[in-house]
Chain A
Amino acid sequence: MGLPDSTQDLSSEMDVDAFRRIFPLRFFERHLSESLRPDARPLGKARDTIVNLGLVSTADGSALAKIGSTTMLAAIRMEVMTPSTDSPDEGCIAIEFHMPPICSPTVRPGRPAEAAPVISKRLSDTILSSGMIDLKELCLVSGKAAWMSYLDIYCLDADGSLFDAALLSAVAAFSNLKIPVVALNDNGRIVAINGEGEEESNASKKEAVNKEKRKLTLKNVPSSLTCILHKSYILADPTAEEESIMDTLVTVVLDSSDQMVSFYKSGGNVLAYSSAIKSCVELAKKRGKELKQILGEMDID
């Protein structure tokens, strides 16, 4: 990469990679004016999305979601707890989002990433308020025992649109969830029937509490799409590079009946006008259908 002559036009003479590094915004705007992005996507198209179910054998439900190279691993562990007195027939969901140093060069070991608790909070707000899971289904014995489900999402590769990928992996993990069979023992305590040791000998006597309730019914499945607003362009599903250069991010979460679960925009140089909001919602609707299809294919096999 030789330095170009100062007398010549930089953009025509300079190596493309060097131009990309030195003038990132101009590099992107040059692409956008051709309605194309550097990774050959049209503006409104999301990256290829893959979902794999049941990868973690020790968890009760797990999924790996990939949007482009953004990778999320979600795993659910179920534990029996005593429900709170305010809601004796409801279970509980605790969601934690982790960003280990492996996911991005900006995350340093020992210091938790700034974005992690924020995404964690947004995920639990979205999942709980969307009504995807009826917490009453997590009840075992009213007032005595209910399921506490710990959902942990690990970001393995942070290449933009983290929230979208995390939500997708969470939804997939819940669809993969198999609730363990438990029974009430003589002391009135809940024990797992897992065919181990003395439990097995007693298992015949005891009736499983939740024989038929092994799967959760997911309704109003939320799907989200993050868009970048830059000038009058709207870029769907940005990569980490795009996010760092153009800073106005909008995340739209819609449920399966196209109701709005969340419209999240925090700051940014570009203001969102009604027309832009409408286009973002339209893109999110389209994306919702795509994701439904991807998740639908999973259920068949």
Chain B
Amino acid sequence: MEIDREDGRKPNQLRPLACSRNILNRPHGSASWSQGDTKVLAAVYGPKAGIKKNENPEKACFEVIWKPKSGQIGKAEKEYEMILKRTIQSICVLTVNPNTTTSVIIQVVHDDGSLLPCAVNAACAALVDAGIPMKHLAVAICCCLADNGSIVLDPSKLEEKKMTALAYLVFPNTTLSVLPEGSSLVEGEPVEDGIITSVTYGVMSVDDYFLCVENGRAATASLSAFFRKNFQQSQKVSFKA
């Protein structure tokens, strides 16, 4: 059951990924991440002294500023800011730099679908570039449920509009373990199978949601591998310099 996608991809095939880090001079860490035509720029400033109001001074505080490609920031962007902030807070070690604020600035360069997952990946790469202590990476993917009940990964803007439902899912990165039994288990499931963030639009059955989660999880393995390869490469370059 192969469905034809506009750009000739297979249902679970991602668009070409590209990531470059340390591209901006002023921020402490920066990255650009693109999935096909969707491109996002992320910059990290911090940790800076002091925290925002109503935050716990015993923990590191994060703020996310979302800049759309054009125009004013609206409700959708505010929601993205909040989701991204909470996602970052859950993957970073908050006790290392208490009473500090780290700003993550997201600049959308082009939106061609799967914008939020793209921003999560970009923010993650920028945080690594800035050397912010993290527990693990977050790997984000967009899963779509088509009319005929099949699952499509990493949709473009056009595909997103045609789908009955879509889910943005964020997982921890898959670990490369030297232990023979692989990564540690939580309630009989590997750690990387837990969902950090899930946002869905549209109506789907509970079973379809689990199908989305399963497909998304499978795709995060290749995304994690891409992250790993990318970080190893730039590591070599910095050693040479």
Contact = CB atoms under 8 A, between A and B. Distances in A.
Given A106-B54, A117-B78, A264 B191 contact: no
B206 A258 contact: yes
Given A267-B88, A277-B195, A118 B79 contact: yes
B205 interface: yes
Interface string B136-180: 000000000000000000000000000000010000100000000
A232 B195 contact: no
Interface residues of A, number: 36
A163 to B, nearest CB: 12
A93 to B, nearest CB: 14
Given A131-B203, A261-B203, A274 B193 contact: yes
B187 interface: yes
Interface stretch (A31-39, A121-129, A179-187): A121-129
Interface in A254-291: 255, 258-277, 281
* Interface range on chain B (Cβ under 8 Å from partner): 35 or more
Given A106-B54, A264-B198, A274-B210, A259 B204 contact: yes
Interface in B184-222: 186-189, 191, 193-206, 208-210, 213
Contact of A267 (B191, B197, B213): B197
Contacts of A131: 203
Contacts of A263: 167, 198, 200, 209
Contact of B82 (A114, A259, A277, A281): A114
Interface of A: 106, 114-115, 117-118, 120-122, 125, 129-131, 220, 232, 255, 258-277, 281
The 7 closest A-B pairs by CB, nearest first: A271-B194, A267-B86, A267-B90, A121-B75, A266-B86, A272-B195, A117-B78
